Structure 1
Amino acid sequence: MRRSRAAFNDTGLATRVVPPANRETGTAKQKTWLTRERIALYSTALFILQAALIGIWAVSYWGVHQHGVPLPGSDFRVFWCASDVSLRSGAAAAFDQQRLLACEASLQRGTPLANMFGPWIYPPTFQMLIYPLALLPYAISYALFMGIGVAGCLLASMPAMRQNILPWMTVVAFPGIWVTMVYGQNSLLTFGLAAAGLGMLETAPVWAGICAGILVIKPQLGVLFPLLFLCGRHYRACAAMILTAGMLCTASAVLFGWTLWIKFFQAAAWFRDAALVHGEGGLWHTMPTVFAFLRAAGVGLGVAYALHAAIALAAVGATAIVWAHRTKRELRAAAAVVTSLMIQPYLVYYDLAWLLLPIMHVSGYGSARSAPTPLARIDYAIVTVAWLTPLLSFLLNCLRISALPWAAFLPPVWLILILMHASRDRARHTTCPRKLASQSKEERRAA
């Protein structure tokens, strides 16, 4: 007996296609050039390319010690050096820019990043996590940190991939994962926590809240979750999240002292002024946010803040309504992630690793529909653009092309599309009971 092959319907999402032997039964094959096999093939090619480039980079730096090759994990060096100075001189030393600069310079000596300084602007909750990193050599610590991040990302993706909606190679080859590895950032860790928190709401609400609460290591990305949990009537998850976040903050204060939180808020205020207000280092062009787009386009600070706040509030309100109406789980999770990214005035393109979750959920929602809708092709286009956006943003930055951050338009457009799906889904579910009720009345009259 021949195995059936999988193809993509008009939404670009996986559907089952009957084998040739069964075509005469009346089920016709949907014609499409972008089959599941081709998606897997293209993803495999990009996976091999990305893995080879990172492998060559690592061997060139640590293997043959090629002069002029930059240190892998340019942002991870900040984590490692913060750990190093904390272990040597106490946790508060991480906010001493002179000590941190000396450590970073020693790591980057003889590389193009020798004069580049990355400040420590993370909360004490994250400092607890990275505190022991410098107990290991930089290379081993970097590999371990990124390995845990990738493993957590893929493990948290398993619930969304149970229906085999996309080839696993498409997930593994997602450029957001590899861009995060290049910089050595924590986006994969936060992605795993967000995906686990949203994925376990129905089955293990307390564990979902615990995972969401650990997002306090990067609190701006988790600030929306308590509101959505309340709107969705996930009270146990909300309580567990608040309790977890509170315990982590208290633990950091006990270990390092409350003064460390004061130093964090001072550093955050200084960095906000440098990055958001003045856009030092061309940061506006690397930030896919509405605020950064407006500032890069020459809009004044007050107007940029006002427009960004108006769009963010509208997005939060619309997403809260979606959660309150208990629409499909895939749409709620996708809206939560897209809105969480969209409300940030400061966001760098490596944080777009979070886009993998709505990519999977929108794909799952599309594959569950019995028939394609007029929005199907737009779904497919948005998913494709979202999958490629981290790579395109990274390449533009590497080529030093100072274009406006065009990716700022992706979250608002995608959220509008998700809201349209949610509205249609709700209308369909409210219409069906009325039809059933009218049918039962007609049956009683006939009886």
Structure 2
Amino acid sequence: MPTQPTTGPAYKLFIAVVSTCAALNILALGYLLFTHTRLNCDFMAFWSFPRFAATHPIAQIYDATALQAFQQALYPGFDSFYPYLYAPTLLLPIWWLKNISYGWAEIIWTATGLAALATAVPLAFPRARWAVLAALLASPAALISAATGETAFFTTALLLAGFGALPTRPALAGIAFGLLTLKPQLGVLIPVFLLAHGEWRAIAIASLTALAMAGLSCLAFPPGLWLSWAHTLPQYQANYFASTGLNLNIIVTPAANLVALGVKQHIAWIVQIACFALVAAVVAWLARRGPYRLAVAALLTGTFLAQPHAYAYDSVALTAALAFCLPMRPSAWPLALAALIYLGPLTLLTPAWHWFLYAVPEAALFAAIATLALRPPRGAHSQA
């Protein structure tokens, strides 16, 4: 998308796409509200976790059988399962959910996420804040996140706040990155970037923030809960990829896409590890030698290639990556790639969802950003 207002064809296309997607989002969310759709909404997981923890031995939150039985009793007619895959620290910021009814909790949750995103965007895009915010909120990925009650608005806000503040306010950036450890897989490349860029103050503050949250969790809950998490997470991941009743296409990483195509798990994991190594090396190189905004765009894109467990709703951050790197007057192929990245999650709402293999355009975007960084066009990394 253009990084500043213009009257050219690219900007008119940007307006048309964002407006159409915004209208679609409003209609879809209105339908969901009108029909009171609830079952299989991911927010059910977040609302159930503190309730379970408050009424059961806390260690059982990593016990699949106990948690599944509780959720099915909590939600009559619900026959699925939302495991607690997170570190113990996540229970701290969601503890308040146990004191509020489901409907009000979901409203407050969504409104808070939107407010966080609206606050973070100006830090990263001070001169194009409204265009970027509109594009983020109108994206199909945002629709999926809002409809399911997921965490993408919060995680994207922390990423944008961190990288927006890093050049001038490294302490604020460190706090944002430290808080992102609540969902650590989305920050897997941040240490690589910070080390390569020499951001020692941000590293120190991020480490202290993460340690402080871990310490608070050990005061609030038994410290052994961390061992339970570390023990159960690999098995949950293996079981997820081995399941035959789940739609793996909503996971937008190389390993998940390969498993969805029928590739054996061990081969998919080898490819995933190789992707991490390659992406981390490129991000480190860009952090040291490339334009800052292109390096950030590469990190946001590479995050979905470097780790095995990220969903379509998490990809709201890819719209921010486009805003960081797309030239003001792009040629046809960057526009086509941007449109594919932006509109791709719509595929999940169509009969063609089986062919939603998002790692492919993600890899194309990552390669395009790296190429752009080698010879950045004039104005490509100007302050947005």
Paired position in structure 2 for 1:118:
82
| 1:351 to 2:351 alignment | no
| 2:352 paired with 1:385 | no
Shift of 1:357: 1.6
2-structure distance, mates of 1:134, 1:102: 18
Q: Is the 8 A contact 2:171 2:201 kept in 1?
A: yes
Q: Distance in 2 between matches of 1:129 and 1:168?
A: 25
Q: Which of 83, 95, 100 is 2:50 aligned to?
A: 83
| Percentage of identical aligned residues | 23
Matched, 1:97 2:52: no
Is 1:362 aligned to 2:325, yes or no? yes
1:227 to 192, 196, 203: 192
Higher radius of gyration, 1 or 2: 1
Q: CA deviation at 1:422?
A: 0.8
Whole-Å separation in 2 of the counterparts to 1:237 and 1:181: 31
Q: 1:127-163: CA deviations, max 9, x gaps?
A: 2121221110011111111111121122212234333
Q: What are the ranges of 5 or more consecutive residues in structure 1 without an aligned counterpart?
A: 1-10, 18-29, 62-69, 429-447
Of 241, 246, 250, the residue aligned with 1:286 is: 250
Tell me if 1:40 matches 2:15: yes
Which residues in structure 2 correspond to 1:28-427 (within 5 Å)?
Answer: 32=9, 34-36=10-12, 39-61=14-36, 70-71=37-38, 74-110=41-77, 114-164=78-128, 166=131, 168-276=133-241, 278-325=242-289, 327-363=290-326, 366-367=327-328, 376-392=331-347, 394-396=348-350, 399=351, 401=352, 403-425=354-376
Displacement after TM superposition at 1:283 (Å): 3.8
User: How far 1:346 sits from its partner (Å)?
Assistant: 2.0
Give the whole-Å Cα distance in 2 for the aligned partners of 1:35 and 1:221. 30
Contact in 2 for aligned 1:57/1:72 (Cα 8 Å): no
The higher relative CO (CA closer than 8 Å, separation ≥ 6) is in 2
SS for the counterpart of 1:185 is: coil
- Cα offsets for 1:150-189 (capped at 9, x unmatched): 2112221223433338465333312221210111111221
Q: Is the 8 A contact 1:12 1:377 kept in 2?
A: no
Provide closer, same or farther for how the CA distance between residues 73 and 188 of structure 1 changes in structure 2, counting only shifts above 3 A: farther
Once the two structures are TM-superposed, the CA of residue 200 in structure 1 deviates from its matched residue by 0.4
- Residue 229 of structure 1 aligns to a residue in which SS? helix
Displacement after TM superposition at 1:285 (Å): 2.6
- The structure-2 alpha-carbon separation of the partners of 1:207 and 1:404, relative to structure 1 and needing over 3 Å to count, comes to same
TM-score, normalization by structure 1: 0.78
What SS is found at the alignment partner of 1:71? coil
User: How much does 1:98 deviate?
Assistant: 4.2
Question: In the alignment, what sits opposite 1:23?
Answer: none
Equivalents in 2 of 1:151, 1:389: separation in Å?
A: 25
CA RMSD of aligned residues (A): 2.5
User: Within 2, Cα distance between the matches of 1:283 and 1:413?
Assistant: 23
Q: For 1:348-381, what per-residue CA distance to the aligned partner results, in whole angstroms no more than 9, with x for missing partners?
A: 2111122122022123xx12xxxx6xx7332222
SS of equivalent to 2:375: helix
For the 8 Å contact 2:188–2:307, the answer to whether it is kept is: no
**Cα distance between partner residues in 1 of 2:25 and 2:73:** 28
Distance, in Å, in 1 between the alignment partners of 2:46 and 2:332 is 42
Q: Secondary structure at the match of 1:412?
A: helix
SS at match of 1:257: coil
Residue correspondences, number: 378
CA contact (8 A) 1:201 1:208 kept: yes
Return closer, same or farther for 1:320/1:279 CA change in 2, 3 Å cut-off. Answer: farther
Distance 2:231 2:132 in 1: 46
How far apart are the structure 2 equivalents of 1:159 and 1:257? Answer: 37
Deviation of residue 237 (structure 1)? 0.8
Render the CA deviation track for 1:265-307: whole Å, top value 9, x for unaligned.
Answer: 233122112113x144234332222112222223222222222
Gaps of 5+ in 2: 380-384
Contact 1:292-1:405 at 8 Å conserved across structures: no
Whether the 8 Å CA contact 1:196–1:211 is kept in 2: the answer is yes
Matches of 2:132 and 2:228 in 1, distance apart?
A: 46
Matches within 5 A, 1:427-438: none
Distance 2:247 2:354 in 1: 12
For 2:376, what is the secondary structure of its paired residue? helix
Aligned-residue offset at 1:209: 0.8
Cα deviation, 1:169-214, whole Å, max 9, x if unaligned, reads 3333122212101111112211111111111001110110110011
Change (3 A) 1:296 1:174: closer
**Deviations 1:98-118 (Å, cap 9, x if unpaired)?**
4433442245324xxx21111
TM-score, normalised by the number of residues in structure 2: 0.90
Q: Distance in 2 between matches of 1:268 and 1:15?
A: 46
For 2:154, the aligned partner's letter is L
